[in-house]
């Protein structure tokens, strides 16, 4: 598998991007880097970053529209000038991503949402999102643009809030280089079944990325993968194998009290351990169980994995 970790796990504890890369190089199984743009790229020399990476590859860049300028929206920002800045940042991120050798731009529309009734003109906002993503996708047809939904936080309601809404958006945008990144915690927050969403996206060739983690569903807990929901994690890995997912598994976790390096390694180890459980039984045999459409058979499969 291809694995990547969250740089801010290190940076929020006082390091910088180069420190994070140095830590990643010591880890077992970590293969890729994922940068936030602009925070992990601007102010760094690209050649210096590439030299520091060594054998590590770059998956891509994730846009972050930080600061008070963007509080009222990203692609739906009411000020057209700010909205243009948001779109231009996507294009600049694309250029930097290419320089770094990456292939995926992740778009989490953090500020595109609303709190108050009568605050959002929904049809207008939806059209603004569709048009902005089309413009960005057409800027670089050789780059993948991947929409990461989150149901709420920072806004009370997000414009793109579920697997279904994401697939609907991808359909409306109608570009071959636009797909989605599924974040396990975000799916739990929405009470979306993670594997159901995975199957819908992957069966359409639209699964461009993964954010693996775990949690309890009320908020974005960002816990170690498989630590809370073993069965859901195992089912997810089964579907990844069934659809031959060959992208990067990025761990979007938040080690606030834990040390960043062992926490990242714990994610990789958990994913590998659960993957082994799934592989030991095998995709074919699991598919047979699924075809029975039966709860007891499904539960017995989980117990077999635990033996
Ligand atoms: Mn995420």
| Cβ-proximal residues to 217 (8 Å cutoff; 6+ apart), any chain | 188, 189, 191
Spacing, Cα 276 to ligand 1 middle (Å): 25
Residue by residue, pLDDT tens for the chain (307 residues) are 999 999 999 999 999 999 999 999 999 999 999 999 999 999 999 999 999 999 999 999 999 999 999 999 999 999 999 999 999 999 999 999 999 999 999 999 999 999 999 999 999 999 999 999 999 999 999 999 999 999 999 999 999 999 999 999 999 999 999 999 999 999 999 999 999 999 999 999 999 999 999 999 999 999 999 999 999 999 999 999 999 999 999 999 999 999 999 999 999 999 999 999 999 999 999 999 999 999 999 999 999 999 9
Query: Exposure pattern of 8-44 as b/e (b: 16+ CB <10 Å)?
Result: bbbbeeebebebbbebbeebeebbbbbbbbbebbeee
List of domains in the chain: 2-280 (3.20.20.150)
- Phi, psi of 44, rounded to the nearest 5 degrees: -105, 150
CA distance linking residue 275 with residue 212, whole number of Å: 13
Location of structure tokens 């602009």: 38
| 97 Cα: distance to centroid of ligand 1 (angstroms) | 18
Contacts of 140 (CB under 8 A, 6+ apart): 91, 94, 98, 177
CA of residue 183 to ligand 1 center, whole Å: 5
- In the reported structure, the alpha carbon of residue 106 is separated from the centroid of ligand 1 by a whole-number distance in angstroms of 9
Residue 212, C-beta contacts closer than 8 angstroms, at least 6 positions apart: 184, 225, 249, 250, 251, 252, 253, 267, 271
Q: Are strands 248-251 and 2-4 parallel, antiparallel or unpaired?
A: parallel
Q: How far is the CA of 262 from the centre of ligand 1 (A)?
A: 20
User: Residue-wise over 204-232: b if at least 16 C-beta within 10 A, else e?
Assistant: eebbbbbbbbbbeeeebbbbbbbbbbbeb
Phi/psi region, residue 218 (left: phi>0; alpha: psi -120 to 50; beta: rest), is alpha
Please give the distance, rounded to the nearest whole angstrom, from the Cα atom of residue 24 to the centre of ligand 1. 19
199 CA to middle of ligand 1, Å? Answer: 19
């Amino acid at each position: 598998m291809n694995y990547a970790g969250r740089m801010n796990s290190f940076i929020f504890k006082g390091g910088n991007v180069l420190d994070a890369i140095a830590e990643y190089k010591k880890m077992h199984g970590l293969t890729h880097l994922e940068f936030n743009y602009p925070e992990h790229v601007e102010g760094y020399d690209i050649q210096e970053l590439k030299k520091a990476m060594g054998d590590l590859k770059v998956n891509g860049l994730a846009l972050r529209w930080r600061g008070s300028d963007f509080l009222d929206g990203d692609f739906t920002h009411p000020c057209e000038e700010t909205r243009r800045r948001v779109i231009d940042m996507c294009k600049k991120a694309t250029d930097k991503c290419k320089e770094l050798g990456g292939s995926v731009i992740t778009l989490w529309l953090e500020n595109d949402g609303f709190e108050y009734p009568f605050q959002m003109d929904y049809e207008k906002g939806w059209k603004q999102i569709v048009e902005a993503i089309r413009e960005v996708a057409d800027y670089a047809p050789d780059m993948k643009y991947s929409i990461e939904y989150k149901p709420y936080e920072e806004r009370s309601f997000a414009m793109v809030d579920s697997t279904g809404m994401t697939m609907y958006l991808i359909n409306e945008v109608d570009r071959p280089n636009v797909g989605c990144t599924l974040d396990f915690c975000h799916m739990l927050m929405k009470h979306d079944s993670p594997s159901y969403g995975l199957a819908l996206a992957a069966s359409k060739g639209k699964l461009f990325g993964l954010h693996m983690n775990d949690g309890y569903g009320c908020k974005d807990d960002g816990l170690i993968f498989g630590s809370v929901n073993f069965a859901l994690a195992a089912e997810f890995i089964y579907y990844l194998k069934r659809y031959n997912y060959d992208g990067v598994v990025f761990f979007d976790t938040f080690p606030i009290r834990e040390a960043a390096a062992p926490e990242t390694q714990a994610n990789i180890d958990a994913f590998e351990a659960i993957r082994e459980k799934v592989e030991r039984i095998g995709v074919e045999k699991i598919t047979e169980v699924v075809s029975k459409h039966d709860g007891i058979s499904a539960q017995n499969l989980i117990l077999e994995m635990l033996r």
